Each structure stands twice: as structure tokens, then as C-alpha cells.
């Protein structure tokens, strides 16, 4: 955490012209066949077309399930109300807590897999002199059963570290509720390690364990874990990765205010590429399990909103 500031998570086997052209926003222009003609990607699932009144920003937050963290349960950054405030906004913010904590959101239309980056996701990394990134991993899903809820298969967007040494696939961590405010939260993972999310003197009023977890004794998160990039000594630094992650001070962020991701980078649980013509749901989760000390607390991805880069 860099600022002095509902179901359990499960990892499933998970451009158009920049001008806003009217003919690119009509129902007929956004059928799977038309999308295939424009993008060269097979129209494998029907899409919800964008219209002239569609917003490029988040329209729905489906689930907010933070991992334990210093802002978890606090009304401003760690509550369901705070998560819902991301709808239509890029200035409000929510913390995802430690490793695995996540948010699921969507738009009022399907986000088409076009040429280049498809989504921009806002965070609050700092740099370049004082570098502080808290990388979030992005997953996407299509509404295959057309029921309007994110209960379909999830796919990871493979970033620059997906096949890097130190990246752990199918990482699993369980946090245990201390049932006390301002107290360390112990954890164990499936790599034989244990530790704790460290409480600090700035956040003592709340229990760091998520009150929205369905089980109030323990909660488990599963996904891909990125290698820690914390640099100690001198100015405390948590380095960014090259591309493909949120809340990361890398490449495009300083100019754009968001990190971009490309739907073309989707892979399934076996790491094999998958072709999606469009997506309906987005999941962002904290990708590092790292304690930055008593002053800064846990590495925890923050999300300030998202944008369909084709609108």
C-alpha cells in the first residue's frame, strides 16, 4: 500500500478508428460478423453492441472481495460502497488488499477485441523518481450463457511476466481471521510458506480481514503470483513490470493515466492462447504477496476505474 492511504475467488480455466463514428456504433455494425470483418477475429460469441449512448467507463461493479489489508473494511477505500463508486468514474478509488483481493466489473456493452490495446485500467502508481507500483493481474470473460452475470469461464491476460522465472501459476493463499481490530492477519500458501499481513499504527480501528467474505474464519484466493519487486535501502521502491498489469508505473501510464491491456493476450488455465472476439466482464486482482513494512503495509493493487479504448 503506497498511500498513508462475493463469492470466494477462483481461477477458472480463465481499434477501431479513434474517432467516434456513428456507423461503428450501430447494432448492425457490431454484430459478430461485422466485428470479424473489421478485426480479423472470429465472431465466436454474440456481443452486446455499443450504441450512441454507451459509456466508455465502468457501468457495473459485480463483486468486490478484497484480501486482508490496512484499508479493507474502511469506508473510503475498502468497502462495497467504495467499489460501487467506480461506476462512471476515474477519480474514485478502491484498494484490493493483499494477494488475490479482487474486483469484477463490466460495461454497458461488450468490449471488442480490436487492433492493439482494448482496455485502459486506472490506478495510482508513482514515479519515475520515486517508483511505487502494486501490479494487478487482469482476467476477462465472455457472457456465453447471456444471463448478464459473470458466471462464465475466466481467462488471464498474459502480461510480460507470465512466463518469467519466479512467476507461480495456480498459487493459493489462505488468510485467517484474527477476529480483532488493528491486528496482523496470518496466512499460509500452497508453496509451504506462511506469514502475515502486517498491521500498522495508521490503521487500528478496523479488522483487516474482509467483512464481506462468506466465511469469517478463513478466506482463500487462487491465481498467478508475480515475483516480488520490492527494493529496500535508500528510497523504498516497488518496481513496475514492462506491460500487461494495472497500477504499474510503466510505459504508457505517465502520459495516459492508465495501464493498457490487450484482449488478444488471453490464455487458458494451461497457458494456451485463446481467441475471443469480445469480452463482457473484467476481473483485476492483486498479483504480488509482499509486505512492504510497518510504514507502507502490504502491496495492494488500487483501481480507480476502467475505459473501453474503442469508444
CA distances (Å), origin 61, targets 80, 83, 115: 9, 7, 26
Beta-carbon count within 10 A of 132 CB: 23
Output phi, psi for 264, to 5 deg: -65, -15
- What cell does 213 get? 467474505
- Which cell goes with 23? 456507423
pLDDT at 293: 86
> Tell me: the pLDDT tens digits for 218-276?
999 999 999 999 998 767 799 999 999 999 998 899 999 999 999 999 999 999 999 99
Tell me the three cell numbers of residue 155. Answer: 481467462
pLDDT tens-place string over residues 193-205: 999 999 999 999 9
Which residue is it, cell 516497488?
238
Q: What is the pLDDT of residue 44?
A: 62
Q: Comparing C-alpha atoms, which of 212, 225, 116, 248 is closest to residue 172?
A: 225
Q: What is the pLDDT of residues 117-165, one digit of tens each?
A: 999 999 999 988 888 999 999 999 999 999 999 999 999 999 999 999 9
- Sequence-ordered list of residues with C-beta below 8 angstroms from that of 252, at least 6 positions apart, any chain: 258, 259, 260
**Contact between 253 and 136 (Cβ < 8 Å):** no
Neighbours of 21 (CB within 10 A): 11
Q: Taking all residues of the chain, what is their mean pLDDT, rounded to a whole number?
A: 87
- pTM assigned to the model: 0.86
Amino acid at each position: 500500500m503506497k498511500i498513508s492511504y462475493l463469492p470466494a475467488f477462483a481461477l477458472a480455466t480463465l481499434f477501431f478508428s479513434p474517432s467516434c463514428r456513428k456507423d461503428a456504433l450501430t447494432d448492425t455494425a457490431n454484430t459478430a460478423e461485422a466485428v470479424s470483418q473489421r478485426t480479423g477475429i472470429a465472431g465466436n460469441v454474440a456481443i452486446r453492441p455499443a450504441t450512441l449512448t454507451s459509456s466508455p467507463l465502468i457501468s457495473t461493479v459485480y463483486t468486490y472481495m478484497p484480501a486482508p489489508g490496512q484499508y479493507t473494511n474502511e469506508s473510503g477505500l475498502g468497502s462495497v460502497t467504495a467499489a460501487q463508486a467506480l461506476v462512471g468514474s476515474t477519480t474514485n478509488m478502491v484498494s484490493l488488499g493483499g494477494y488475490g483481493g479482487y474486483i469484477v466489473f463490466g460495461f454497458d456493452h461488450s468490449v471488442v477485441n480490436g487492433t492493439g490495446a482494448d482496455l485502459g485500467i486506472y490506478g495510482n502508481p508513482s514515479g519515475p523518481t520515486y517508483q511505487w507500483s502494486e501490479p494487478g493481474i487482469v482476467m476477462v470473460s465472455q457472457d456465453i450463457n447471456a444471463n448478464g452475470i459473470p458466471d462464465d469461464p475466466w481467462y488471464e491476460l498474459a502480461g510480460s511476466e507470465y512466463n518469467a522465472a519466479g512467476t507461480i501459476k495456480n498459487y493459493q493463499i489462505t488468510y485467517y481471521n484474527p477476529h480483532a481490530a488493528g491486528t496482523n492477519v496470518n496466512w499460509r500458501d500452497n508453496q509451504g510458506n506462511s506469514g502475515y499481513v502486517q498491521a500498522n499504527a495508521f490503521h487500528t480501528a478496523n479488522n483487516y480481514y474482509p467483512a464481506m467474505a462468506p466465511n469469517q474464519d478463513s478466506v482463500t484466493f487462487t491465481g498467478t503470483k508475480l515475483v516480488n519487486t520490492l527494493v529496500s535501502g535508500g528510497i523504498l521502491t516497488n518496481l513496475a513490470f514492462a506491460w500487461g498489469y494495472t497500477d504499474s508505473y510503466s510505459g504508457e501510464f505517465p502520459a495516459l493515466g492508465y495501464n493498457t491491456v490487450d484482449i488478444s493476450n488471453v490464455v487458458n488455465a494451461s497457458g494456451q492462447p485463446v481467441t475471443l472476439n469480445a469480452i463482457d466482464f473484467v476481473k483485476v486482482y492483486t498479483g504480488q504477496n509482499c509486505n512492504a513494512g510497518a510504514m507502507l503495509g502490504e502491496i495492494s493493487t488500487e483501481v480507480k476505474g476502467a475505459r473501453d479504448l474503442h469508444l
